[in-house]
Amino acid sequence: MSQQRNGQAAGVPGGAVFPDLPEATVARLPEYLRSLHHLAETGFDTVSSEGLAAAAGVNSAKLRKDLSHLGSYGTRGVGYDVALLIAQIEHVLGLTQRRGVALVGVGNLGHALAGYAGFGNRGFRIVALFDADAHRIGEQINGLAVRHIDDLAAVVTAEAISIAVIATPVHAAQRVTDLLVRAGVSSILNFAPCVLSVPDGVHVRKVDLAIELQILSFHEHRKSALTTLPVHVGHGRAALATPVNGEAVAT
């Protein structure tokens, strides 16, 4: 993984630059942001760490520690100002400018992603669609024309695109990645079920439906194996461990 340690940028002036957030925190901020937007729409002006944590599905101590990394934007005895916190998180995540995203591969999945309207509200705008299939070139999706992948470099440079989504078949993914990287893209979201190799400094995140299902499958398998085998306790102290959950109303 491209795990670059960045030692400096610690004692930045009063400005609003980067406290070098822990990766785990970064991964949760978007969830907080979504919950905050929801709270704002529901009419909340302030929210306590407890409330926001519940909305985001995390522990409140964890939430407070996460937010404390951004600086002190809460008021003791009151909570957090929703609008202020939204602005702060959006700033840290770099969402103040609506970033342009390129999407490569307008097949089954790519088509759905391109048509997904929910981006606008979340800080992104798909500004270019690419495909290799000549039959698809020119097709309009959501008011955007599909372009041939040969135009990728030119368009990416012209539009200063730094983030791309790969929704191609596996066999094309690495080639497309190389194209993107050479064109200056430095963050990639990969939906193709394969490992992409990229130079240092390029971030890749991966989404693989089958992997998610397999992880769930493990837990299912484990559950059923545990209920099949009885409890297998050597000594009597079964009391502490709450039995497998009485709820199982299932038939």
Partner DNA sequence: GCGAGTTTGTGCAAGCGTTCACAAACGCTT
Partner DNA sequence: AAGCGTTTGTGAACGCTTGCACAAACTCGC
Scan residues 211-250 and list those touching a copy of itself (CB under 8 A): 211-226, 229, 231-234, 240-241, 244-250
Give Cα 184 to chain centroid, integer Å: 21
Q: From a copy of itself, DNA, none, which one binds at residue 200 (CB under 5 to 8 Å depending on kind)?
A: a copy of itself
Q: Say whether residue 145 binds a copy of itself (CB under 8 A).
A: no
CB distance 129 to 141 below 8 Å: yes
Window 6 to 35, contacts with DNA (CB under 7 A): 22-25
Q: Binding residue for DNA (CB under 7 A) from 9, 16, 17, 68? A: 68
7 or 94: CB nearest DNA: 7
Chain positions 113 to 152 lying near DNA, rule: CB under 7 A, are none
Question: 173 by DSSP, 3-state: which?
Answer: helix
Residue whose CB is less far from a copy of itself, 20 or 75: 20
Binder among 83, 116, 138, 159 for a copy of itself (CB under 8 A): 116
The answer to whether 67 contacts DNA (rule: CB under 7 A) is yes
**Cα-based angle 97, 98, 100 (whole degrees, multiple of 5):** 120
Q: How far apart, in Å, are the Cα atoms of 101 and each of 113, 152, 187, 193?
A: 12, 12, 10, 20
**Partners of 189 in the β-ladder:** 165, 205
Binding partner of residue 154 among a copy of itself, DNA, none, CB under 5 to 8 Å per kind? Answer: none
Residues 6+ positions from 167 with CB-CB distance below 8 Å? 103, 104, 105, 106, 107, 109, 110, 113, 191, 192
